[in-house]
A and B are shown apart, each in its own frame.
Chain A
Amino acid sequence: MADVPDNAPEHCPGTTSEQAGKSASCQGCPNQKLCASGATKAPDPAIAEIGAKLSTVKHKILVLSGKGGVGKSTFSAHLAHALASDSTKEVALLDVDICGPSIPRIMGLEGEQVHQSGSGWSPVYVDDNLAVMSIGFLLSSPDDAVIWRGPKKNGMIKQFLRDVDWGELDYLIVDTPPGTSDEHLSIVQYLSSTHVDGAIIITTPQEVSLQDVRKEIRFCQKVKLPIIGVVENMSGFVCPKCKNTSQIFPPSSGGAEQMCADLNLPLLGKVPLDPRIARSCDEGRSFLNEVPDSPAAEVYRRIVQSIQDYCSNRVTEEQSTT
């Protein structure tokens, strides 16, 4: 229901509703005629534009989580770094977390600005083959808050998908805001005309987190978004001194492993807690380059490998069906 304008009269049925322009509350609304004409019920032309814009992108991956703060942006950033370590691949990371964009800091791009060119907004480049776009680049100071309401947020997401000049890409990773909110619905709606490879779902081991993730999985199934797999983050902590493992966030209901078994989903891997991950993120560096021989980096590499395999299998499947 993102189609009720900000300044609509009370009880506005929504511009795309069957009742648009006809309900009692439409009386006296300056747009009553427009709504009654049916013009507002046509699909948003932006959907087709986004489809055209993103036709140069081979693989699109959404990174989702039910709960916030489970490490979604950390994962997205490291997935981007890992995919871009192959210098023949063009990789881009799009941060659509409108309220709390943390990708600029994690990618070491704080204070960067977006430039406008003839063909749209130019993303900021970390490397020759790694481009980043975030709402954070549009905020003027670190203290700025984005206090936007639904319809404006959707407009911004639309602009991000349609107006960024990505060029030819092998991978586009979309870091989404937490929850199954209006933003999610609009991202999926806007991407409906393009081909999304699938979603990666991030969770922590506790049941409080998993119960939100189950909702997110149901959401994916409802909107027919394929799930590439689940990543369990913050999974155990190895003390650097005595090497004993502690379950700081205990998997009381069996963790992601049990949930994946129950729901018949692939578990891509379990990333352990490591203070060096948080430090790398704060300093805007890739943990995978900083401490490549750590157990967490090893898990990351395996997860990225399964994602690459998934994407290339999808391509062969499609070729064999056509």
Chain B
Amino acid sequence: CDSNGVYGSLAQVRHVVLVLSGKGGVGKSTITTELALALRHAGKKVGILDVDLCGPSIPRMLSVGHTDVHQCDSGWVPVYTDAQKSLALMSIVVWRGPKKTALIGQFVSDVAWGELDVLLVDTPPGTSDEHLAVLENLKKHRVDGAVLVTTPQAVSTGDVRREITFCKKTGVRILGIIENMSGFVCPHCSECSNIFSKGGGEELAKLTGSVFLGSVPLDPQLSSSIEEGKDFIQSFPDSATFSAISSISQTLLNSLQMT
């Protein structure tokens, strides 16, 4: 364990993936959490860095809400969700004003991540100061690229188009697009309703020449798991939502290993 800033703390992290969305509330934190759980399920060591300054929600989703963070010689010790230490989490507390970007920089380099296959960074929505700060500070290290999350409606994909421009301007590779909240199957009659329309994510991928990683349906079981901080991947291994998430995580792993 050394403490040489960014290079030190991220030295043993194989891949860094940003999870972005143009719009808020499209399920970015949910997708981050489920991707992490799916990757762990596939035998990987995973870390989540939650830098959603306005409302960090991942600690709750992983039921580590009230755990205190400790410091060791090499930095902040992430919170582990299991004894095998296969899923590490670090979440930011709310800071405000001109210092906050500097603090994010410090935050990124001050966590003792140890050895990880993938570090997922859950970012705040939009193309704001926080994005720039996170990108600037992570680019000192190597960012493999970004996964973009959208819901199917045009209102949401419109914001993601702007996010794609942002990635191109800042030189971040787009690993792919995920469509969340895509269709709802009624548990009573199995009729599928496209509550937030359908197909917007795939269309957007075509339009912008990006990879479409897949779509995740609306699933009350997933919402409840997230609310209660349960591992959805373990609780409902037979659901369509599970197979959607695990296929997305597999596609993502493949594209990471190609680079």
Binding site for B on A (CB under 8 A): 1-2, 4, 12, 14, 66-70, 73, 99-100, 102, 105-106, 142-150, 153, 177-182, 204, 206-209, 211-212, 215, 237, 239-242, 244, 246-250, 252, 273-275, 278-279, 281-282
Find chain B residues with CB under 8 A from A249 CB: 220, 223
How far, in Å, is B67 (CB) from chain A's closest CB?
Answer: 17
Contact of B169 among A147, A180, A274 (CB under 8 A): A147
Find chain A residues with CB under 8 A from B153 CB: 278, 281-282
Contact of A241 among B29, B124, B159, B189 (CB under 8 A): B189
Contact B23 A69 (CB under 8 A): yes
Q: Tell me if B127 is interfacial: C-beta within 8 Å of chain A.
A: yes
Find chain B residues with CB under 8 A from A66 CB: 54-55
Find chain B residues with CB under 8 A from A212 CB: 54-55, 57
Contact B186 A246 (CB under 8 A): yes
Find chain A residues with CB under 8 A from B188 CB: 239, 242, 244, 246
Contact A250 B220 (CB under 8 A): yes
Binding site for A on B (CB under 8 A): 22-26, 29, 53-55, 57, 60-61, 96-98, 124-129, 131-132, 151, 153-156, 158-159, 161-166, 169, 184, 186-189, 191, 193-197, 218, 220, 223-224, 226-228
Contact B26 A145 (CB under 8 A): no
Find chain B residues with CB under 8 A from A2 CB: 97
Please, could you name 21 A-B residue pairs with CB atoms under 8 Å apart, sorted by A?
A12-B98, A68-B25, A69-B26, A69-B151, A69-B156, A100-B23, A100-B162, A102-B158, A105-B158, A142-B162, A145-B162, A178-B125, A179-B24, A181-B54, A207-B227, A208-B29, A208-B60, A208-B226, A242-B188, A252-B224, A281-B153
Contact A179 B55 (CB under 8 A): yes
How far, in Å, is B243 (CB) from chain A's closest CB?
Answer: 20
Find chain B residues with CB under 8 A from A179 CB: 24, 53-55, 124
Question: 9 extra interchain contacts, Cβ-Cβ under 8 A, other than A239-B186, A275-B195?
Answer: A1-B98, A68-B24, A69-B24, A99-B128, A143-B164, A145-B163, A179-B55, A278-B155, A278-B195
Find chain B residues with CB under 8 A from A143 CB: 161-162, 164-165
In whole angstroms, how far apart are the Cα atoms of A241 and B60 in the complex?
35
Contact A278 B158 (CB under 8 A): no
In whole angstroms, how far apart are the Cα atoms of A246 and B197 in the complex?
18
Find chain A residues with CB under 8 A from B98 CB: 1, 4, 12, 14, 150
Output the nearest chain A residue to B97 by Cβ-Cβ distance.
A1
Output the nearest chain B residue to A275 by Cβ-Cβ distance.
B195
In whole angstroms, how far apart are the Cα atoms of A11 and B257 in the complex?
42
Find chain B residues with CB under 8 A from A105 CB: 154-155, 158
Contact B223 A248 (CB under 8 A): yes
Contact B161 A67 (CB under 8 A): no
In whole angstroms, how far apart are the Cα atoms of A263 and B137 in the complex?
40
Contact A281 B24 (CB under 8 A): no
Find chain A residues with CB under 8 A from B96 CB: 1, 181-182
Find chain A residues with CB under 8 A from B61 CB: 208
How far, in Å, is B128 (CB) from chain A's closest CB?
Answer: 5
How far, in Å, is A150 (CB) from chain B's closest CB?
Answer: 6
In whole angstroms, how far apart are the Cα atoms of A241 and B189 in the complex?
8
How far, in Å, is A101 (CB) from chain B's closest CB?
Answer: 9
In whole angstroms, how far apart are the Cα atoms of A92 and B227 in the complex?
37
**Given A208-B61, A237-B184, A250-B220, also A144-B162 (CB < 8 A):** yes
In whole angstroms, how far apart are the Cα atoms of A246 and B223 in the complex?
12
How far, in Å, is B152 (CB) from chain A's closest CB?
Answer: 8
Contact B22 A241 (CB under 8 A): no
Contact of B25 among A69, A150, A180, A278 (CB under 8 A): A69
Top 8 closest pairs, chain A to chain B, by CB: A68-B24, A69-B25, A1-B97, A179-B54, A99-B126, A242-B189, A212-B55, A239-B186
In whole angstroms, how far apart are the Cα atoms of A199 and B163 in the complex?
29
